[in-house]
A and B are shown apart, each in its own frame.
Chain A
Amino acid sequence: MIQLTGITQHYGVRPVLRNLDVRIDGPAVTAIVGPNGMGKTTLLSVMSGVLSPQSGTVEIDGLIRRSSVDAELEIRRRVVFLPDRPWLPKHRTGREFLLSVGSIYGIEIEHLFDHADRLFQLFNLTKESDWPIRSYSNGQQKKLALASALITEAHTLILDEPFGGGLDPAGILALKHVLRRLSREQGYLVIISAPAPEIIEDLADNFVVLREGRVVAQESMDGLRRLTGIRGGLSEMLAKLTSPETLDNIDHYFQGGPA
């Protein structure tokens, strides 16, 4: 469970999150959605401890973030954050990297070897597993980064745009299935952000919709349908919730004559 209370975050003087209250319960896949620049990444950064908000508290499984050394370390063991643009040690092999990440989370070494092999197989990286990371393509590096988050076995995954960064269709499919099964079968809480709603439409159980630093809706797919009165896809519902002027703008564009 992640509970954010009264979170306000601003860079310099520009407010990004405004007195935001959110509670995200697991097990579930929760998607943070909203237009660009509305605070999705900032919200994930606050949850994951990268940013300390100017006001408000972040509580994870009953522990308050940064309240004490022990609490913070315990939270870090339980929660793993993967940003959209991680830095990977390029001179190390993919296997070395995965084993090392697993080690700092205190995973049993024999289990770690086995898990790493399964992850390489999952993302079609078995052949490249002992190559230096610098020889990986962009998409392969993205897969390795995702594998590094999974190998920690932390039961709360916070993934910023996990489907971006050159991930191929096979990788997207694998990740979708893994996240869904981790949530349903192993009780994981998965929080993801995605700019394109169609990718996460069939994956997420809940949606937190952000607009100008505030939560405008926190619902399941059915809940969003009821709230917006739209029977169509997630894109239309989000458009209505976050930028209702978009549809009017399209009409207005074609009213002026041929395009």
Chain B
Amino acid sequence: MRLSLRASLRQVLPRPVYAALAVICLLSIELTWFLLEQFAGPNTLADQLLLIRDTLIVGLLTAYGVYRVVSFHPLLSPDYLRWLKATPWKRGVPLPIGPVHPVVADAIVVLAFSALLADSRVLSVLPVSRPPAIAGVMACLLAYATTVTMMVWFTYPRRLAYLASFVLAASVQVSAWNPPAAIVLLLAGWMVAQVGLSLSWEHFPWDHTLNPGDRIKQRWKQMQAHSGAVVDDDPSPDRVPASELGWPFGPLSPWVPPASLSHAEQTLIVAMFCWWLHAALVHVTNKEFLQGAGMMFLGYGTMILAIKRLARYGVNHASPLNFQGRLLKLRWIVPGYDQIFVGPLVIVFAAATLGYFGRYWLQIPPAMLIPAITVCILWVSIWIGPSPEKWKLTAPVRIVHGAAINKRNYDQLS
């Protein structure tokens, strides 16, 4: 039993150098705090040191939660994944380099570090309280469950990933005023993520459902098969992506990569992102700061979104009639081309209008208003058509090859 636990610890613990670094950091802080307390009595610096130590412990536990997934999930290690695919490994058999699911060794690590938060010291000067010992456990569990949820999203079943993400964000939100409910939600979210992880092994080696890049490769294989070609989709340095073939084969390519995510899925992801944003913002106690930062975030964010959208369409594809031509020919609007301006204008208008009415008329608190406006403008950006692919192939445009090309990578014939 002891041997097995030791082996398990050796398997899941980070490299000794990282563990030693963490211990040295903690010991240095402890020693400094001890000296300050001994020779200077109760003081602000000692309190701050104690808070830094607590934050460091919570941070280390959070990092450990992420590490346990990132280091052991084959999806994030291409060599490991390639090797595992070549073996008869299947769900139910232990993963060769270590488990992704929690083991007893994890509990020992987490409890040991959390116990450091449970000492009886109090802050003598600063008017705040130290985090409870459970905060470390919660932080670790949240980090672990969130990372697992991401892996489940990439490897399916995605519905469980969305559900877990929603519940985990809810636990973050509720923790601001109801910690017991937050713990219950966190445990529920963790369990959903765990079920998702368990089911995701069924889909191994995730060839057809892995990620957008692989979906594109899948589509590429289908196209080659359709044209009677031998399939060779192995990503290798001898294949130049279609987008880097220069002029004219880049802009006039007869092959267009498919959209990596459906509109419905993008909509759901945006909703999830804003739900997390809201869950995080409810913890900001300084409302004035939140108001100012929120306005800045929305203002710059909206402008960036509008410009990015415009660039996505307009780069390499200019109006068939230039500005002077439009003026002199009295064709101020070229409908087929100018539809690309509708999306950015609606985004800016929506952000400004919702911001004004939400803030001054409805007086919605910033922690709700900022995510609500964000979700609205991102949804508008997703749903307002036409898609760049369709527009580039069907709209009246003038393909201007040199505009978007990184000239350092190309030679133009003279």
Residues of A within 8 A of B (CB): 10-13, 48-54, 66-69, 72-73, 76-77, 81-92, 95-97, 99-101, 103-110, 133-134, 138, 141-142, 145, 148, 165
Name the residue of chain A whose CB is nearest to the CB of B220. Answer: A103
Contact B228 A141 (CB under 8 A): no
Cα–Cα distance between A99 and B241 once the two chains are bound (Å): 11
Contact A108 B245 (CB under 8 A): no
Cα–Cα distance between A89 and B249 once the two chains are bound (Å): 11
**Interface-centre pick from A50, A82, A148 (highest chain B CB count, 10 A):** A50
A residues less than 8 Å from B254 (CB atoms): 73, 76-77, 104-106
Q: Is the interface of B mostly helix, strand, loop or mixed?
A: loop
B residues less than 8 Å from A86 (CB atoms): 246-248, 412-413
Cα–Cα distance between A15 and B303 once the two chains are bound (Å): 37
Residues of B within 8 A of A (CB): 223-224, 226-230, 232, 237-242, 244-249, 252-256, 320-322, 324-325, 328-329, 389-390, 393-399, 401-402, 405, 409-414
Contact A49 B252 (CB under 8 A): yes
Choose one: B240, B255, B256, B413; the contact of A142 (CB below 8 Å). B413
B residues less than 8 Å from A110 (CB atoms): 230
Q: A51-B398, A85-B414, A87-B405 are in contact. List 14 more A-B contacts (CB 8 A).
A: A11-B322, A12-B321, A52-B398, A53-B320, A54-B320, A69-B390, A86-B246, A86-B412, A88-B412, A88-B413, A91-B409, A100-B239, A105-B255, A145-B413
B residues less than 8 Å from A91 (CB atoms): 409
CB distance from A120 to the nearest CB of B (A): 15
Name the residue of chain B whose CB is nearest to the CB of A52. Answer: B396
Q: Is the interface of A mostly helix, strand, loop or mixed?
A: mixed
- Given A76-B252, A138-B413, are A104 and B245 also a contact pair (CB < 8 Å)? yes
Name the residue of chain A whose CB is nearest to the CB of B319. Answer: A52
Cα–Cα distance between A92 and B247 once the two chains are bound (Å): 14
**Interface-centre pick from B232, B241, B245 (highest chain A CB count, 10 A):** B245
Contact A106 B393 (CB under 8 A): no
Contact B320 A85 (CB under 8 A): no
Contact B413 A85 (CB under 8 A): yes
Contact B394 A82 (CB under 8 A): no
- Given A51-B320, A90-B410, A109-B230, are A72 and B394 also a contact pair (CB < 8 Å)? yes
Cα–Cα distance between A52 and B395 once the two chains are bound (Å): 8
Contact A87 B247 (CB under 8 A): yes
Contact B320 A52 (CB under 8 A): yes
Choose one: B240, B252, B410; the contact of A50 (CB below 8 Å). B252
Name the residue of chain A whose CB is nearest to the CB of B336. Answer: A52
Contact B322 A68 (CB under 8 A): no
Cα–Cα distance between A77 and B256 once the two chains are bound (Å): 12
Subset of 25 A-B contacts with CB under 8 Å: A50-B252, A50-B398, A51-B320, A51-B399, A54-B320, A66-B394, A66-B396, A67-B394, A72-B393, A73-B256, A77-B254, A86-B247, A87-B410, A87-B411, A89-B410, A97-B240, A100-B241, A104-B242, A104-B249, A104-B253, A104-B255, A105-B254, A106-B229, A134-B411, A138-B413
- Given A48-B252, A50-B399, are A100 and B328 also a contact pair (CB < 8 Å)? no
